[in-house]
Amino acid sequence: MPKREHPNAFELQLRPYHGRLWVARTINGYQKAHEMIFAHPDVLTCTQAGRFSGGEGNDGLWTYLIWADEPHTLAHELSHVVLHIFERCGMDPRESNGEPFCYMLSQLLMEALEQMKPPEKNDRTR
């Protein structure tokens, strides 16, 4: 499935689960994306280091939007997403010693960190 473009965030795949996940690179990007996706503002304070939102997007699909300023905060916000997905599916995140939760979290974290890397000077593919 091709990734959709958004001016203030990038999308991560939630396979095999339904819904979409957007990750904003900045607090301002989060606020702009939130207004576009959910049709209402989410005003953050200057003391916040991350944010998680979930709900029906303006296109009717279940949508998550997160922002985090550090890798440990990104793991925290992605955990909210995975826990919410499991709750919606009726799955216990502790099942099988938490392996499904841990695998999904690590996959999302790896993909998000890769997307957040600044492009290398000689890398013309980005």
Q: For the residues of 30-55, what is the DSSP string, one character each?
A: HHHHHHHHHSS--PPPTT--EEEEEE
Task: Kindly state whether residue 124 falls inside one of the protein's structural domains.
Answer: no
Task: Kindly state whether residue 1 falls inside one of the protein's structural domains.
Answer: no
Give me the chain's average pLDDT, please. Answer: 90
Please tell me the predicted confidence (pLDDT) of residue 36. Answer: 94
Quote the CA–CA distance of 26 and 69 in Å, as a whole number: 7
Angle CA 64–103–97, to nearest 5: 115
Sign of CA dihedral 43, 47, 50, 53: negative
Task: Kindly state whether residue 50 falls inside one of the protein's structural domains.
Answer: yes
- pLDDT of 44 > 90? The answer is no
Note the pLDDT tens digit of each residue in 97-117.
999 999 999 999 999 999 988
- pLDDT of 2 > 50? The answer is no
Percentage, residues of the chain above pLDDT 90: 76
CA proximity to 16, closest of 98, 89, 80: 89
Average pLDDT on 46-66 reads: 93
Angle CA 104–76–15, to nearest 5: 25
Beta-sheet pairing, 20-24 with 50-56: unpaired
| Whole-structure pTM value | 0.87
67: helix, coil or strand?
A: strand
Domain that holds residue 21: 9-116
- pLDDT of 9 > 60? The answer is yes
Structural domain count of the chain: 1
Task: Kindly state whether residue 55 falls inside one of the protein's structural domains.
Answer: yes
Task: Kindly state whether residue 4 falls inside one of the protein's structural domains.
Answer: no
Task: Kindly state whether residue 23 falls inside one of the protein's structural domains.
Answer: yes
83: helix, coil or strand?
A: helix
Written as one letter, the residue type at 55 is G
